[in-house]
Amino acid sequence: MNDPPLNNPTPTPTQTPAQITQAIDQLTLQGSFGREIANLTKFYTDEVKYSGEQDNFDFKFEIFQNYCLQAGVPKQAYIIAIPTMLYRLALKYYFTHLKDLTLLENVHTGLKSYFKGDKYKRDILLKWNAITLKQVAT
């Protein structure tokens, strides 16, 4: 019986060489700063994390940068540490749409524009307009 090798370095047909290199770089970076990122997680509580619901992204990102500084996370590792600051919807959105981005500013822009952009505002307005007096009274 021939079992497939567990750690097969052969790329899958859906991965480009650039994506494979990027993934290896991310793993190397994560391994290099694992202790610092673990220290960063100790600073966080759910109240301090950005959920995307009624939070100020810029304020939460400033907290993230401050905590990274305190935990000794270097700026080049912020890109792999950013999920630490996310919670609920924001974390789900990150892993669904942004996790493959390699520049922190792109992740920053992606989160901010999704949760504070026009589409988000329209969705919130639709939810608000759908509320009835009966729902509020119960």
Report if residue 117 sits inside a domain.
yes
Tokens in use for 68?
A: 């990274």
Digit-by-digit pLDDT tens for the chain (138 residues) are: 444 444 444 444 565 555 555 554 555 555 577 888 888 989 999 899 999 887 888 999 999 999 999 999 998 889 989 999 999 999 999 999 998 888 888 989 999 888 876 666 667 677 777 877 777 777
Cα(17)–Cα(11) distance, integer angstroms: 8
Domain that holds residue 86: 32-137
Q: How is residue 50 annotated by DSSP?
A: B
Number of structural domains in the chain: 1
In a domain, residue 23? The reply is no
Q: Which of 65, 67, 127, 116 is nearest to 93 (CA)?
A: 116
Residue 22 lies in a domain: no
100 part of a folded domain: yes
Taking the alpha carbons at both ends of the chain, their separation in whole angstroms is 62
